[in-house]
Amino acid sequence: MAVKPVRRMGDPVLLARAQPVGDVPSAALEALVQDMRDTMAALDGAGLAAPQIGVPLRVVIFGVQANPRYPHVAEVPMTVLINPVVEPLSSEEEEDWEGCLSVPGLRGLVPRYHRIRYRGVDATGQPIDREAEGFHARVVQHECDHLDGILYPMRIRDLRHFGYETILFPQGVGGPD
Ligand code: NI
């Protein structure tokens, strides 16, 4: 149980395809998930993928609590998702601003599917099968991209919409990482 250093863009582990988790549950998986929770909480992130702390396994966590200071940010249930499968439920896409703990200080306008279905198991092996839309769907797509070596800047269509958070949003943050 520890806050781990977050790997930053340029580190090869962020570009690799992560491997499926074989045993669920396991003590090793439990320890990994706890490290991820501790690290995400310390950095006030909305999500984290195992490769971001240097572990090339298909594990993501995410969650956003309702916060009256950010009424435009929707609540996302705290979730541990292992061996995820994500599929779009329609071809409809929308663009919105994203950040990433591995790309600190920057924001970009990223297209994502509006509605998705995602499946996997939690750390106890219980199946997860949900439909999500909007910000919830965006967070899941962002985190699961990490498992395939994709960082959000790779998905920006117009790099004029990529820059420093303090310059883009001098009045305050556009949304959580
Ligand atoms: Ni990220």
pTM check: above 0.75: yes
pLDDT value, residue 175 = 53
* Domains present along the chain, CATH in parentheses: 12-168 (3.90.45.10)
Q: 75, 98, 143, 165: which one is catalytic? A: 143
Residue 144 CA, ligand 1 centroid: distance in Å: 9
Residue 109 CA, ligand 1 centroid: distance in Å: 14
Residue 172 has pLDDT above 80, yes or no: no
Residues 169, 145: Cα–Cα separation, whole Å: 25
Contact between 156 and 127 under an 8 Å Cβ cutoff? The reply is: no
Banded pLDDT at 74 (limits 50, 70, 90): confident
Residue 100 CA, ligand 1 centroid: distance in Å: 4
Known active-site residue 143: yes
- SS3 label, residue 165: helix
Average pLDDT over residues 21-43: 97
Contacts of 164 (CB under 8 A, 6+ apart): 105, 106, 107
